[in-house]
Structure 1
């Protein structure tokens, strides 16, 4: 059976892009579409929409009002099924030709946060965004009735889908390259090794973009509460504020900018625990940390509550008070490394492939063109 894979826009990096890559490897014969492709060659051969030929591709915010209409006017195609990887409006997709009547499935990373949950994403909190969301909400809910089936990347998102789109969703957790973090296959370069050697012998780790909603200030507070130095890995506009907080609190904080995958894996291994305060739809990094045998201190709200086993592979935190953080770090530090690794393998890429192919087959009544080879390679 012939299929079509759809994604929003494509960037070089990103959790949803990782899912799309695995879907591309799993369904190698499927055509692929996106709004525009800025992946620097990571996703060759993906057909772009008309938005790609306009200046709007340089600004997601400016392009957003036009996206629903663009998705409704895709070219004529003949396909037996359509699978949309959606975190904004790609599930609105409609083709001309025979593909218009093909069953449409949606793998939902989340209903559009800008529109439905601006309290979790500040980009939707401005007056213009709020006004636009009042128009987009009924349209988005209407389009969400079209798919024959929806899969969510977590139970947390499945509940949001029920609340916003009023649809049920099957939970299929996204693929994580657990083996890549569980094994040491890549050597550090001399600069990376020097950076690693200069770190404190024992520290708490925070990893993400340096933006306010990731709440890396809470990693610093965890370090203060536990009497441990902190390493923050990433980059972003919030760094100056984080440095000021560290100075004010008298906390030793080392910043590691944009670590490679190899260096990130070593940071996970060297840390006493990963502290992950953000409320995420799923949360990839806690699983990566567990894959290296490192426990996680994470929010009890969101996707991390589905991956981190409280008291076993880490600790889940509710209020983020100093006393709760101190106890959480102590509980996490006692986790068994092998148990953490075993837990991470429950979210490994082959698990996702098995579940998503079975789900697509159940909805389409056939093998949907699944590759007989193990996924993970690069599609030509």
Structure 2
């Protein structure tokens, strides 16, 4: 039974793109539909359909493209052999409809659009322009969510958000994480390049690790401040527009702070394996990176709110801080450092791609 995989837009990296790749492997005969594709090398084994927006400068300006995405999703050109759509949605992809015929829509929701439903979690929702149009967008968004044959949420945290926003229930299917790959190497230092090994060799013996895109809501600033409170060096890995602000904060910290920009997978896993604790202060829909850290044998520290709380057992492979204030995160770091004896395979057993593939196929086949 052929289907069509639908995704907002395809980027070179990102958790949603990893989910789409796992969906593609689970449904090898399905074409892919997106607004535009900025990573053509990711899906060379199948047809990737783009919309008219891909031929415009709007593909490089998501905020400006936003008003055009809703009507674009409503008039997708027909995929004659598609008997269903599986939609990976974190904005408006779940509005998707074929131009001339209806097919069942199975929605995998990373979240209802944060900046119209939960603007306190996304700074894009704080602008006057977005606040002005948000009520109208919410009405349309809720109505279109009723078209879904069934909805899956990537966490119980997001399922609750779906109930509030869309007045729909959802099946929880946690996203796939590369736990088997991470567990396959006892020491990821053996897989890095010579240059990367020098980066590792220059790090202190103990450090707190924070890793994500460098954007404000990921709260990497709190990783630096908490590490300072705990008296441990910090390593900040990733890249993004918030780098200058983070470096300025690091320059004033009372502990060494090392930045590792654009780390390869191997280097990231090696950083995780060597870290004393992985600190993740963001309020996240799920939190793939904390699962990766556990697979690398490193305990995680998070705040008390978010889908990432579903990724570890408090007191076993991680610690939930009482708040995201640096003093509370620092206290949790001290507790977490003593948890290095946990079993990484047992801690991450439910998050493999094989588990995800089985559940997403059953979801599409059963519609529940």
TM-score of the pair, normalised by structure 2: 0.94
Corresponding residue of 2:199: 195
Corresponding residue of 1:103: 104
Q: Pick from 338, 352, 356 the counterpart of residue 352 of structure 1.
A: 356
* CA–CA separation in structure 2 for the residues paired with 1:222 and 1:204: 9
* CA–CA separation in structure 2 for the residues paired with 1:236 and 1:59: 16
* CA–CA separation in structure 1 for the residues paired with 2:349 and 2:360: 17
Corresponding residue of 2:68: 66
Deviations 1:203-242 (A, max 9, x none): 1101012222111121112212211111111122322322
Corresponding residue of 1:43: 43
Q: Which runs of 4+ in 1 moved over 6 A?
A: none
Q: How does 1:1-380 map to 2 (within 5 A)?
A: 1-44=1-44, 45-78=47-80, 79-97=82-100, 100-184=101-185, 187-363=191-367
Contact 1:12 / 1:39 at 8 angstroms: preserved in 2?
yes
User: Which secondary structure does the structure 2 equivalent of 1:208 belong to?
Assistant: strand
> Please, what is the CA RMSD of the aligned residues?
1.6
* CA–CA separation in structure 2 for the residues paired with 1:295 and 1:126: 37
Closer/same/farther in 2, CA of residues 54 and 354 from structure 1, 3 Å limit: same
Contact 2:316 / 2:342 at 8 angstroms: preserved in 1?
no
User: Which secondary structure does the structure 1 equivalent of 2:227 belong to?
Assistant: helix
Gaps of 5+ in 2: none
**Relative contact order higher in (CA < 8 Å, ≥ 6 apart):** 1
Contact 1:283 / 1:304 at 8 angstroms: preserved in 2?
yes
* CA–CA separation in structure 2 for the residues paired with 1:110 and 1:318: 25
User: Which secondary structure does the structure 1 equivalent of 2:279 belong to?
Assistant: strand
User: Which secondary structure does the structure 2 equivalent of 1:6 belong to?
Assistant: strand
How far residue 246 of structure 1 moved from its aligned partner, in angstroms, is 2.8
Deviations 1:69-122 (A, max 9, x none): 00111112333211111111111111133xx33211100001111211111111
TM-score of the pair, normalised by structure 1: 0.92
Closer/same/farther in 2, CA of residues 226 and 126 from structure 1, 3 Å limit: same
User: Which secondary structure does the structure 1 equivalent of 2:278 belong to?
Assistant: strand
Contact 2:275 / 2:298 at 8 angstroms: preserved in 1?
yes
How far residue 293 of structure 1 moved from its aligned partner, in angstroms, is 0.7
Corresponding residue of 1:374: none
User: Which secondary structure does the structure 2 equivalent of 1:95 belong to?
Assistant: coil
Contact 2:11 / 2:17 at 8 angstroms: preserved in 1?
yes
Corresponding residue of 1:378: none
Deviations 1:328-373 (A, max 9, x none): 1122112244423321122111111111111111129xxxxxxxxx
* CA–CA separation in structure 1 for the residues paired with 2:56 and 2:242: 31
Closer/same/farther in 2, CA of residues 52 and 239 from structure 1, 3 Å limit: closer
